[in-house]
Structure 1
Amino acid sequence: MSTFLFSLCPSALPTLRLVDGDGNRCQGRVEVRFRSTWGTVCDDGWDAINTDVVCREVGCGLGLELKVGSFFGFGFGPILLDNVRCKGHEDHLTDCFHLGWGGHNCDHNEDVGVICSGADSHGHVCVHQGQWLVGGQHQCEGRVEIFTQAQWGTVCDDSWGLADAQVICRQIGCGEATHAQGEAFFGQGSGTILLDNLKCSGMEASLQECSHIPWNIHNCDHSEDASVTCTLL
């Protein structure tokens, strides 16, 4: 039996994630975060050592396979890293050598992905909680995605409104909420739908403090993913 001790991570939000892995958090396209913006990693020079560093960082054991040529689909937004060369001892992919943030000669058909062995079978796992916006034209608009208990997921648009959007905008360091879009306005997410029937007053410090039905309970599909547009500060 696998045993985990979960606690809230002392650091801020994660700087690396695996996405579009068909519901498996231990496989997918590699995405990194830089200054509140998520982006992809080019597959130039990618090897098994890099894969091991990624899998270890996300708590998913050993690297089994590296996947080049956008195996897990094209990403959106900037290509943030290229020619990554890890030695294997690094705690974070961003500790490895690379060309510098945003330096690359790729497009999204070279987005790299990995397949890991699976969640670590023992030890301590810290849990990040937060949310980000995906698929917009800038960091302050997009589909709402929440990270909690080691998984990313979306929010259903049932009862979604400007008060809910305002909580998101404030928490991610953006300005006022101008739109609270539904019906997957910025594209459909993948994986779990984590929250439904949110009812925020607009004063909450985080979306998780708002009234909602229990986690992972919903009557939606991803065609109802909620989105927001906030002003840029």
Structure 2
Amino acid sequence: MVSVVSVVEVRLVGGGNACQGRVEVLYGRSWGTVCDDVWDLQDAEVVCRQLGCGSAVSALGNAFYGAGSGQIWMDNVQCSGSESQLSQCRHNGWGTHDCSHVEDASVICSRGVEVRLVGGGNACQGRVEVLYGRSWGTVCDDVWDLRDAEVVCRQLGCGSAVSAVGNAFYGVGSGRIWMDNVQCNGSESQLSQCRQNGWSTHDCSHVEDASVICSRGVEVRLVDGGNACQGRVEVLYRKFWGTVCDDFWDLQDTEVVCRQLGCGSAVSAVGNAFYGVGSGQIWMDNVQCNGSESQLSQCRQNGWGTHDCSHVEDASVICSRGADLAESGRFRLVGGGNACQGRVEVLYKKFWGTVCDDFWELQDAEVVCRQLGCGSAVSAPGNARYGAGSGRIWMDNVQCNGSESQLSQCRQNGWGTHDCSHVEDASVVCSLGMAKKMNCTQDSFEH
């Protein structure tokens, strides 16, 4: 038995990815194979480490990934498991063996066991399937729990685990059942690193196939608001769309929905089925986000489908990009003789209304002028300077920092919540309104 310490390249062939397959080594400018005599998990561990493929899952013999060709370079390999290269392990000597290629050794590393979710409508929810030994198979739901699901979601880049589901919830699979009695501690980077019975050792049928719902698999949509960025909140969970109860529903929760949908910032968190009652399940109640979550499914709540609500309490959202504030974010200045000065009016839920002058100041006016393309703010008059409006007063106690691109992004009491009358209607004078060089001749300008 000799020990050779020169660095020799290693590759895995025939396994469908770089981290599982037949072991081949480059020696003397020629690729050759390794004989499976005394080939074990310690030897496989060294191969996986050398290739950056995680930990060893299986050490296979009998040309599991097909017979190689050419030289058989190594036989009777005996690694301690701590070596950094296979060439550092003891063996008979390069090219010294009593084997044929039907005894070629193979390795499956943890990063070679691929995972996918099937039947859930997107890549982040569905039946768990693993690619082991060239074949996709399923996982049995015995002792399947949220810690196991957490590892699957992490491995797939699907966020955190929402549910660990059994009983073939997303349909029965076919072929092999590769894993049973999986027990992860939750910190593993791959499902293949978790404890289990042993590959294909199980007492299950496919009606027990395990499934996972990850946070990025729980889709969110806004319905009946006229566009994709405002409306009743609905979530896709366990193959069905359902609603969210408005108990504790606030701007922090709304902020998460708007972020998840790419709809800008939150404008309003609305309850009482503002955009109409939904149907089917009420999936979430007592939602409490801290506002920094990337998906609504990551927020605290009672538990999926656990609630004391009816659909008249369905929660809704208005995001800044949906804001048309209910119909495309339109503002206008009225009564000033041109489009860049006058009483501020906003279109919300199909009706034009005004803004109360409480706390109204130049920073607020600056946002209006920017939004309308009217230059900079010259003044922010109150007390219905350009005449009292009519209808609703939509905004009160508006507080902009001056950098917002739309008035709808500024803090306020809430749409239609005020203690004002129209004699307090707010107005704006923009620099382009003062210049009187505008081509518009109409009394109002919509943008």
TM-score, normalization: structure 2? 0.26
Q: Which structure would you say has the larger Rg?
A: 2
Higher relative contact order (CA 8 A, sep 6+): 1
